[in-house]
Amino acid sequence: EIVLTQSPDFQSVTPKEKVTITCRASQSIGSSLHWYQQKPDQSPKLFIKYASQSFSGVPSRFSGSGSGTDFTLTINSLEAEDAATYYCHQSRSLPYTFGQGTKLEIK
Amino acid sequence: QVQLQESVPGLVKPSQTLSLTCTVSGGSISSGNYFCNWIRQPAGKGLEWIGRIYTSGSTSYNPSLRSRVTISVDTSKNQFSLKLSSVTAADTAVYYCARETNENPIDYWGQGTLVTVSS
């Protein structure tokens, strides 16, 4: 099973700040890494697919990078609506796995 | 646009079988080529993948749950189903069904349904 480890677990940030969340895989997964945003009492929403491709309708301030074992989700010029928990997910091999989540709080 | 909606089983007693359905709207399952994944999330915790089924009926399960899980598809009702047997309190969670296609990873999720295991 591929283990995904996100850092940090929690981050408190101010609006307009740049945010970086990382996800490290226990073995190489190529570009099969995806990012989801989940707000309280909502289902997760796909934001970035295959490491760097933005999903339909996602604001341009969100971007992803990386390959192999190290991946990054970047939010440029954070907005209040970006407060949420972000999860990475690998689809390289079964069983599918998710990172433990990074909770983003807006100051 | 395809939408997914989980059924609402509510309360399940320990040792019983949890049964959920995922109804798909906005397209026929039989004409689509995609996976239905089941994922769960205990309150305040992360996401755990349970398993998936292709529209043809081929299944894959998480080894940690494989002995208790059955996922099936009913094309006549445009539904996917999840059964989890011998439940305990540890199975209490919000259960999601979510679509995966050949072009996209898991992209659209149902709203989720809370299942509580309690006597």
**What was the pLDDT predicted at B56?**
85
Summarised one tens digit per residue, pLDDT across range A21-74 is: 999 999 999 999 999 999 999 999 999 999 999 999 999 999 999 999 999 999
pLDDT for the residue numbered B32: 73
Measuring CA to CA, how many Å separate A41 from each of A84, A107, B44, B106?
A: 11, 21, 10, 19
Instruction: Pick from B34, B47, B69, B107 the residue to mutate for testing the A interface (most A CBs within 10 Å).
Output: B47
B53-73 pLDDT, tens digit per residue, is 998 889 999 999 999 999 999
Rounded Cα–Cα distance for residues A96 and B38 (Å): 11
Query: Mean per-residue pLDDT for B25-46?
Result: 90
- Pick B49's closest partner by Cβ from A42, A96, A100: A96
One-letter amino acid for residue B100 of the chain: E
Residue A2 makes CB contacts below 8 A (sequence gap 6+) with A25, A26, A27, A29, A90, A92, A93, A97
pLDDT digits (tens, 9 = 90+) for B9-35: 879 999 999 999 999 998 888 777 889
**Which positions in chain A touch B98 (Cβ < 8 Å)?**
43
Cα-flanking dihedrals φ and ψ of residue A45, to 5°?
Answer: -120, 135
How does strand A97-98 pair with strand B69-74?
unpaired
